[in-house]
Chain A
Amino acid sequence: MTTHIVPVRTYVAVFVALLVLLAATVAVNFVSLGELNVLAAMVIAVCKMCLVMLFFMHVRYSGRLIWIYVCIGFYWLAILIALTLGDVLTRAWLRP
């Protein structure tokens, strides 16, 4: 079979990176950045997700088709959230 065998070293490095990111997200939470707090938390979460998917879930070594189906769920979720939020946030515009 043509499966890619990832060295243990890589897995451990990814794990350490994940723990560092976890520490970072908790640490950032103790600093007041206003709106940026949410942004920082989400950016870190996305980084962690990418690490898990690319290495633990072997997406990095997978074909284009897998990549498409990895992205498709998140794309559709973005549609759901964006258009729903689009309604909620603009409701007050017309009638002050």
Chain B
Amino acid sequence: MGRTFPLFPQRASTAAGQVDALFFFLVAVSVFFVVLIFGLIAYFSVRYRQRTGHERGEPTRTSIGLEITWTGIPMALTVVMFVWGVKLFFNAYSPPPGAMEVFVVAKQWMWKFQHPEGRREINELHVPLGQPIQLTMISEDVIHDLFVPAFRTKMDVLPGRYSTVWFQATRTGTYHLFCSQYCGTEHSKMGGWVHVMEPADYAKWLSGAGANEPLEVAGARLFTQLGCITCHQPNGTGRGPSLVGAFGRTVKLTTGETLVANEDYVRMMVLTPGVKVVAGYQPIMPTFKGLVSEEGLQQLVAYIKSLGKEEGAKTP
């Protein structure tokens, strides 16, 4: 944080080293071509400079061989870059199973985080070392972007749709967290810090804020408060389908379409229930738009997810 003069960003995640390796490969290729082109230009323009004022250049002949060479070599190099880049890219957006899920809500101009154990924080994110962390993010207003340079991770945070990114921290410390998608007046102040802690310290930090309610418990309470429970009964006898084990399952809709019940689907069903009704049910569910905040929605998602894990457990 002090007045240092860094030339290279810190490396604090499993992805950082991999991204840097590819970066250095591209730097090497670039330096080679820059030296080649600058060198040739300098050499030619000195070696073949006009001396007497009467010389003329030699006639030009087309050389198909040369043209093919300098088309082919760059093309081959770009294929290497492409394949290598795709590998890292897919990795950055495919969270490993079992990652710890932190929910993020972005709004002009702050970041709100909810840990699975229920602790909430603003503009600061505490994470344990060595544990894959999946961020499930949504915006309340415009497009934002969560960027942690030390982790080499970045993902836009959209209104109306969840986006995810994941990382696994490898060094304890405090790192910059930026909003890198322009979002209005205080865009440059919409930042904070990521604190990577030893797992034991993290556990201590979690319990430090007094009694925390795990997210799925908060979600379960909302589920009761909003009256969802009256129709979505765990034994399937209600007017709506039972949500036990529903998350992640492929569902068939009244229209004949099928889709996978993911976070977006859960959110959509709460806000605009009549659009994608599960086959065999009536579109009678009322909308809860305006009655539940983005944080509340994330708690409901967490709750319904937890129902998927343990059959019929955790009834409030």
Interface residues of A (CB under 8 A from B): 92, 94-96
Q: Considering the chains assembled together, what is the distance between the CA atoms of A96 and B259 in angstroms? A: 8
**Pick the contact of A94 from B93, B248, B259 — CB < 8 Å?**
B93
Q: Residues on B close to A: CB < 8 A?
A: 93-94, 164, 248, 259-260, 262
Q: What's the Cα separation between A62 and B259 when bound, in Å?
A: 50
Find out whether the CB atom of A96 lies under 8 angstroms from the CB atom of B260. yes
Can you identify 9 A-B contacts, CB atoms within 8 angstroms?
A92-B259, A92-B260, A94-B93, A94-B94, A95-B164, A95-B262, A96-B248, A96-B260, A96-B262
Q: What is the bound-complex CA distance between A95 and B259, given in angstroms?
A: 12
SS class of chain A's interface: helix, strand, loop or mixed?
loop
CB of A91, distance to nearest CB on chain B (Å): 9
Which of A92, A94, A95, A96 lies at the interface centre, i.e. has the most chain B CB atoms within 10 A of its CB? A95
Would you give the shortest CB distance from A54 to chain B, in whole angstroms?
40
Which partner residue on chain B sits nearest A34 by CB separation? B256
Which B residues are CB-close (under 8 A) to A94? 93-94
Nearest A residue to B259 via CB reads A92
Give chain A residues whose Cβ lies under 8 Å from the Cβ of B260. Answer: 92, 96
A-chain residues with CB within 8 Å of residue B94 when the two chains form the complex: 94
Residue of A nearest to B94 (CB): A94
Q: How far is the CB of A12 from chain B (nearest CB, A)?
A: 45
* Those 9 A-B pairs whose CB atoms lie nearest each other, nearest first: A96-B260, A96-B262, A95-B262, A94-B93, A95-B164, A94-B94, A96-B248, A92-B260, A92-B259
Closest residue of B by beta carbon distance from A96: B260
Which residue of chain A has the shortest Cβ distance to B261 in the bound complex? A96
Q: Which residue of B lies closest to A91 (CB)?
A: B161
